[in-house]
Amino acid sequence: MKIGLISDTHGLLRPEALAALQGCAHIVHAGDIGKPEILDALRELAPLSVVRGNNDEGLDWAAELPHQVELRLGGIGLYLVHELAHVPTQLPEGVRVVITGHSHKPLIEERAGLLWINPGSAGPRRFKLPISVAMLYIDHGEARAELVELQP
Protein backbone atom coordinates (compact mmCIF):
# COMPACT_ATOMS: atom_id res chain seq x y z
CA MET A 1 0.00 0.00 0.00
CA LYS A 2 1.36 3.42 -1.00
CA ILE A 3 0.31 6.37 1.17
CA GLY A 4 1.16 9.94 0.18
CA LEU A 5 2.21 12.34 2.93
CA ILE A 6 2.04 16.10 2.46
CA SER A 7 2.21 19.05 4.84
CA ASP A 8 2.55 22.80 5.10
CA THR A 9 1.09 23.72 1.73
CA HIS A 10 0.16 27.17 3.08
CA GLY A 11 -2.26 27.77 0.22
CA LEU A 12 0.03 26.50 -2.55
CA LEU A 13 -0.57 23.08 -4.06
CA ARG A 14 2.22 22.65 -6.58
CA PRO A 15 1.60 20.58 -9.73
CA GLU A 16 4.76 18.64 -8.83
CA ALA A 17 3.17 17.63 -5.51
CA LEU A 18 0.00 16.46 -7.25
CA ALA A 19 2.09 14.47 -9.73
CA ALA A 20 4.10 12.84 -6.91
CA LEU A 21 0.89 11.79 -5.11
CA GLN A 22 -0.64 10.12 -8.17
CA GLY A 23 -1.35 6.43 -7.60
CA CYS A 24 -1.53 6.61 -3.80
CA ALA A 25 -4.15 4.48 -2.08
CA HIS A 26 -4.54 7.15 0.62
CA ILE A 27 -3.22 10.68 1.23
CA VAL A 28 -2.43 12.30 4.57
CA HIS A 29 -2.11 16.09 5.00
CA ALA A 30 -0.35 17.05 8.24
CA GLY A 31 -1.76 20.58 8.49
CA ASP A 32 -1.17 24.22 7.58
CA ILE A 33 -3.32 23.70 4.51
CA GLY A 34 -4.11 27.30 3.67
CA LYS A 35 -7.10 26.88 1.34
CA PRO A 36 -9.99 24.39 1.23
CA GLU A 37 -9.42 23.88 -2.51
CA ILE A 38 -6.21 22.05 -1.66
CA LEU A 39 -8.18 19.38 0.20
CA ASP A 40 -10.64 19.13 -2.70
CA ALA A 41 -7.79 18.53 -5.16
CA LEU A 42 -6.19 15.89 -2.93
CA ARG A 43 -9.54 14.10 -2.46
CA GLU A 44 -9.76 13.75 -6.23
CA LEU A 45 -6.60 11.62 -6.11
CA ALA A 46 -7.38 9.33 -3.15
CA PRO A 47 -9.17 9.12 0.20
CA LEU A 48 -7.78 11.84 2.48
CA SER A 49 -7.00 12.13 6.18
CA VAL A 50 -6.12 15.62 7.41
CA VAL A 51 -5.40 17.59 10.57
CA ARG A 52 -5.63 21.31 11.24
CA GLY A 53 -2.34 23.19 11.55
CA ASN A 54 -1.62 26.27 13.61
CA ASN A 55 -2.01 28.51 10.53
CA ASP A 56 -5.44 26.96 9.84
CA GLU A 57 -6.77 28.17 13.21
CA GLY A 58 -9.52 30.75 12.99
CA LEU A 59 -10.43 29.89 9.39
CA ASP A 60 -14.14 29.06 9.04
CA TRP A 61 -13.60 26.24 6.55
CA ALA A 62 -10.99 24.57 8.81
CA ALA A 63 -13.00 24.75 12.06
CA GLU A 64 -14.25 21.17 11.73
CA LEU A 65 -10.83 19.67 11.01
CA PRO A 66 -9.41 17.64 13.91
CA HIS A 67 -6.14 18.47 15.66
CA GLN A 68 -5.08 14.83 15.66
CA VAL A 69 -6.14 11.69 13.84
CA GLU A 70 -5.50 8.05 14.62
CA LEU A 71 -6.06 5.69 11.71
CA ARG A 72 -5.23 2.21 10.56
CA LEU A 73 -4.02 1.63 7.02
CA GLY A 74 -2.71 -1.64 5.68
CA GLY A 75 -2.91 -3.12 9.17
CA ILE A 76 -0.58 -0.45 10.65
CA GLY A 77 -1.62 2.17 13.23
CA LEU A 78 -0.79 5.77 12.29
CA TYR A 79 -0.98 8.87 14.47
CA LEU A 80 -1.24 12.23 12.71
CA VAL A 81 -0.79 15.64 14.34
CA HIS A 82 0.58 18.94 13.00
CA GLU A 83 3.17 19.77 15.66
CA LEU A 84 5.70 17.32 17.06
CA ALA A 85 5.25 18.99 20.47
CA HIS A 86 1.62 17.81 20.46
CA VAL A 87 2.42 14.10 20.14
CA PRO A 88 1.31 12.55 23.43
CA THR A 89 3.94 10.82 25.54
CA GLN A 90 1.67 7.75 25.62
CA LEU A 91 0.52 6.96 22.10
CA PRO A 92 -2.62 4.91 21.53
CA GLU A 93 -1.98 1.18 21.46
CA GLY A 94 -1.06 -0.19 18.06
CA VAL A 95 0.42 3.03 16.67
CA ARG A 96 3.63 2.32 14.77
CA VAL A 97 3.95 5.42 12.60
CA VAL A 98 3.81 9.07 13.75
CA ILE A 99 3.32 11.75 11.08
CA THR A 100 3.83 15.45 11.81
CA GLY A 101 4.43 18.67 9.91
CA HIS A 102 4.99 22.24 11.14
CA SER A 103 8.80 22.49 11.09
CA HIS A 104 9.08 22.33 7.28
CA LYS A 105 12.09 20.05 7.90
CA PRO A 106 11.75 16.63 6.26
CA LEU A 107 12.44 13.72 8.60
CA ILE A 108 12.28 9.94 8.52
CA GLU A 109 13.57 8.34 11.68
CA GLU A 110 13.04 5.14 13.65
CA ARG A 111 12.96 5.60 17.42
CA ALA A 112 11.85 3.19 20.09
CA GLY A 113 10.07 0.94 17.61
CA LEU A 114 8.17 3.83 15.97
CA LEU A 115 8.62 5.33 12.53
CA TRP A 116 8.56 9.15 12.76
CA ILE A 117 7.88 11.04 9.53
CA ASN A 118 7.70 14.71 8.64
CA PRO A 119 7.18 15.08 4.88
CA GLY A 120 8.55 18.63 4.98
CA SER A 121 6.82 21.49 3.23
CA ALA A 122 5.19 21.16 -0.17
CA GLY A 123 4.14 24.83 -0.23
CA PRO A 124 6.15 28.04 -0.43
CA ARG A 125 9.87 27.59 0.17
CA ARG A 126 10.99 28.53 3.66
CA PHE A 127 14.60 29.45 4.23
CA LYS A 128 16.78 26.98 2.31
CA LEU A 129 14.71 23.94 3.22
CA PRO A 130 13.72 21.56 0.43
CA ILE A 131 10.22 21.41 -1.02
CA SER A 132 9.06 17.86 -0.47
CA VAL A 133 6.42 15.24 0.16
CA ALA A 134 6.91 11.72 1.46
CA MET A 135 5.67 8.25 0.67
CA LEU A 136 4.79 5.64 3.25
CA TYR A 137 4.81 2.06 2.03
CA ILE A 138 3.04 -0.62 4.03
CA ASP A 139 3.61 -4.19 2.97
CA HIS A 140 3.01 -7.39 4.94
CA GLY A 141 2.84 -5.58 8.28
CA GLU A 142 6.02 -3.58 7.66
CA ALA A 143 6.22 0.18 7.14
CA ARG A 144 8.94 2.14 5.38
CA ALA A 145 9.08 5.68 4.11
CA GLU A 146 10.93 7.79 1.58
CA LEU A 147 11.19 11.50 0.97
CA VAL A 148 10.41 12.88 -2.47
CA GLU A 149 12.07 16.24 -3.14
CA LEU A 150 10.01 18.30 -5.58
CA GLN A 151 11.71 20.21 -8.38
CA PRO A 152 9.52 23.28 -9.03
Task: Give pLDDT tens digits for 56-92.
Answer: 999 999 999 999 999 999 999 999 999 999 999 999 9
Q: Give how far Cα 123 sits from Cα of 6, 15, 27, 120, Å.
A: 9, 11, 16, 9
Q: 107-128 burial string, b = 16+ CB within 10 Å, else e?
A: ebeeeeebbbbbbbbbbeeeee
Q: Tell whether the torsion through CA atoms of 26, 126, 106 and 53 is positive or negative.
A: negative
**Domains of the chain with bracketed CATH:** 2-149 (3.60.21.10)
Query: Quick one: pLDDT band at residue 126, thresholds 50, 70, 90?
Result: confident
Residue 127 has what pLDDT?
A: 84
Task: Give mean pLDDT, residues 118-136.
Answer: 95
Residue 33 has what pLDDT?
A: 98
Residue 151 has what pLDDT?
A: 87
Full-model pTM: 0.96
Mean pLDDT of all residues in the chain?
A: 96
